[in-house]
Amino acid sequence: MQDLALGDINTIRTDPSLQVVTRPATTVLYLGFNLSQPPIDDLRVRQAIAQSLNPRTLADRLFAGTAAAASQLPPPAMLGYDDTLTQFVTDTAVAKKLLADSGHANLEIDLWYLQGADPSLPDMRKVAETVGADLAAGGVIADPKTIDPITFGVSLRENRFPLWVGLASAATRSSARSSRRW
What confidence score (pLDDT) does residue 115 get?
84
57 band by pLDDT with thresholds 50, 70 and 90: confident
Task: Give the Cα separation of 122 and 60 in Å (integer).
Answer: 11
27 band by pLDDT with thresholds 50, 70 and 90: confident
What confidence score (pLDDT) does residue 181 get?
40
User: Is the CB of residue 54 less than 8 Å from the CB of residue 1?
Assistant: no
Measured from the Cβ of residue 94, the count of other Cβ atoms closer than 10 Å reads 16
Report the top-level CATH class of 6-178.
alpha beta
Instruction: Please say if the pLDDT value at position 2 is more than 60.
Output: yes
What confidence score (pLDDT) does residue 177 get?
37
Instruction: Please say if the pLDDT value at position 29 is more than 90.
Output: no
H/E stretch holding 109 reads strand 107-113
Instruction: Please say if the pLDDT value at position 172 is more than 70.
Output: no
Count the alpha carbons within 13 Å of 15 in the hemisphere toward its beta carbon.
Answer: 9
What confidence score (pLDDT) does residue 117 get?
64
29-65: b (≥16 Cβ within 10 Å) or e? bbbebbeeeebbebebbbbbbbbbbbbeebbebbbbe
The fraction of the chain above a pLDDT of 70, given in percent, is 90
Q: What is the CA radius of gyration of the chain?
A: 17
Distance of CA 47 to the CA centre of its chain: 16
What confidence score (pLDDT) does residue 23 get?
73
What confidence score (pLDDT) does residue 168 get?
78
User: Is the CB of residue 179 less than 8 Å from the CB of residue 22?
Assistant: yes
Task: Give the Cα separation of 108 and 46 in Å (integer).
Answer: 13
Q: State how far the alpha carbon of 104 is from the alpha carbons of 25, 33, 39, 134, 149, in Å.
A: 36, 16, 8, 17, 31
Instruction: Please say if the pLDDT value at position 182 is more than 70.
Output: no
Give the mean model confidence (pLDDT) for residues 10-28: 79
pLDDT tens string 93-136: 999 999 999 999 999 999 999 987 677 778 899 999 999 999 99
Q: What is the mean pLDDT of the chain?
A: 85
* Backbone torsions φ then ψ of 32, nearest 5 degrees: -95, 145
